[in-house]
Amino acid sequence: MSLSLNQIIDFQTNGYVIAEDVFTPADWQPVIDEIERIISARAVILHAEGKLPELHEDEPFERRLTLLARQCPEIARQFDIMFLLGPAMFDFLRNDKLLSVVESLLGRELSCNPIQHLRHKMPWKGEGEQPIGMENVPWHQDAAVTSDDSEASEIITFWMSLVDATAETGCMEIMPEVFKAGYLEHQAEGGTTIVPTLLPHVKPIKAECRKGSIVIMNKYTPHRGTTNRSDIIRWSLDLRYHKTGARSGRNFHPSFVVRSAANPDNVLTDYNEWCRLWKEALGKPATQKAHRV
Ligand SMILES: O=C(O)CCC(=O)C(=O)O
């Protein structure tokens, strides 16, 4: 599914667009099944080690990890794409519907950017309840998590939720049009975030969307995560793509070609090679900063 001309114009005007209902449940299910298998496998090991008393085997995808992590936070550690390296996730990074949307904005020569995450934002009822897992990501531009040698690269963020993303489950908040100001200085204090005195006085929008939709953002669009006040996990993916040949902003992690009209043989379809590239990159000592600050 390509974006419509109006959606492309909205993206160019506002620095974001929400493409609703791109995916059907069938597109997600292999990824969800894979995540569930990984959770079960970790749970069995931690249970055998005596670290996880209750397995909660009958709980659904939207709830089980919270119940397990409350007993044993270790189960949710390094629960991200580059550590899990699942074949269904590799397939999803190359999903045809997704790539057609990406192509609408970036053209025919596409690479998957290594800055990509699977997130499990756990419910938090507020003061009085111990939060588990990921904190809210504060106001930032994604350019701040790329190296400055990639300034000229268009690196576009494709954020999608595996459950409905609402104000209650913790959808993204976005500042429209601000991308035109370019890079705003960030600070490390408080988690890579725009220097508070530089934060634009712009009313943010709540990027609520149904499961199966994509929130697409320019790399200079300020956005932040919000608290999940529901009783389900807000599972989401944030993927990035860039034009093949452009700098990725993380040259020490692997980019790979996902679509090419000019050189179709360069498209990486080999799952084992993808795993090898990540393992090799993560096996090296970290010598460069991942964030600009
Ligand atoms: O998923 C979230 O809550 C934050 C994600 C985010 O900030 C990003 O994708 O850049």
* pLDDT value, residue 226: 96
Task: Name the closest-CA residue to atom 10, ligand 1.
Answer: 142
* Over residues 183-188, mean pLDDT: 97
* Over residues 198-213, mean pLDDT: 97
Q: Binning pLDDT at 50, 70 and 90, where does residue 34 land?
A: very high
Helix axes 25-48, 64-71, angle to 10 degrees: 20
* Over residues 246-264, mean pLDDT: 97
Q: Binning pLDDT at 50, 70 and 90, where does residue 144 land?
A: very high
Q: Binning pLDDT at 50, 70 and 90, where does residue 132 land?
A: confident
> Which two structure tokens, joined as six digits, stand for 105?
């904005």
* pLDDT value, residue 128: 79
Kindly state if the Cβ of 159 falls inside 6 Å of ligand 1.
yes
> Which two structure tokens, joined as six digits, stand for 184?
């705003």
Q: Binning pLDDT at 50, 70 and 90, where does residue 275 land?
A: very high
Ligand 1 mean position, distance from CA 185 (Å): 18
* pLDDT(247) > 80: yes
d(CA 95, CA 100): 9
Task: Name the closest-CA residue to atom 4, ligand 1.
Answer: 225
> Which residue ranges form the domains of the chain, and what is each CATH number?
5-24+79-283 (2.60.120.620)
Kindly state if the Cβ of 119 falls inside 6 Å of ligand 1.
yes
* pLDDT(127) > 80: no
Kindly state if the Cβ of 150 falls inside 6 Å of ligand 1.
no
* pLDDT value, residue 90: 98
Name which of 131, 136, 137 is nearest 70 in CA terms. Answer: 131
3-state secondary structure the chain: CCCCHHHHHHHHHHCEEEECCCCCHHHHHHHHHHHHHHHHHHHHHHHHCCCCCCCCCCCCCCCHHHHHHHHCHHHHCCCCHHHHCCHHHHHHHCCHHHHHHHHHHHCCCEEEEEEEEEEEECCCCCCCCCCCCCCCCCCECHHHHCCHHHCCCCEEEEEEECCCECCCCCCEEECCCHHHHCCCCEECCCCCEECHHHCCCCCCEEECECCCCEEEECCCCCEECCCCCCCCCEEEEEEEEEECCCCCCCCCCCCEEEECCCCHHHCCCCHHHHHHHHHHHHHCCCCCCCCCC
Count CB neighbours of 136 within 10 A. Answer: 16
Kindly state if the Cβ of 133 falls inside 6 Å of ligand 1.
no
Kindly state if the Cβ of 14 falls inside 6 Å of ligand 1.
no
* Over residues 255-272, mean pLDDT: 98
pTM of the predicted model as reported, rounded to 2 decimal places:
0.97
Which ligand 1 atom is the nearest neighbour of the CA of 223?
A: 7
Kindly state if the Cβ of 223 falls inside 6 Å of ligand 1.
yes
* pLDDT value, residue 126: 83
d(CA 209, CA 108): 27
Which ligand 1 atom is the nearest neighbour of the CA of 226?
A: 3
Which ligand 1 atom is the nearest neighbour of the CA of 134?
A: 3
Q: Binning pLDDT at 50, 70 and 90, where does residue 124 land?
A: very high
> Which two structure tokens, joined as six digits, stand for 224?
């932040």
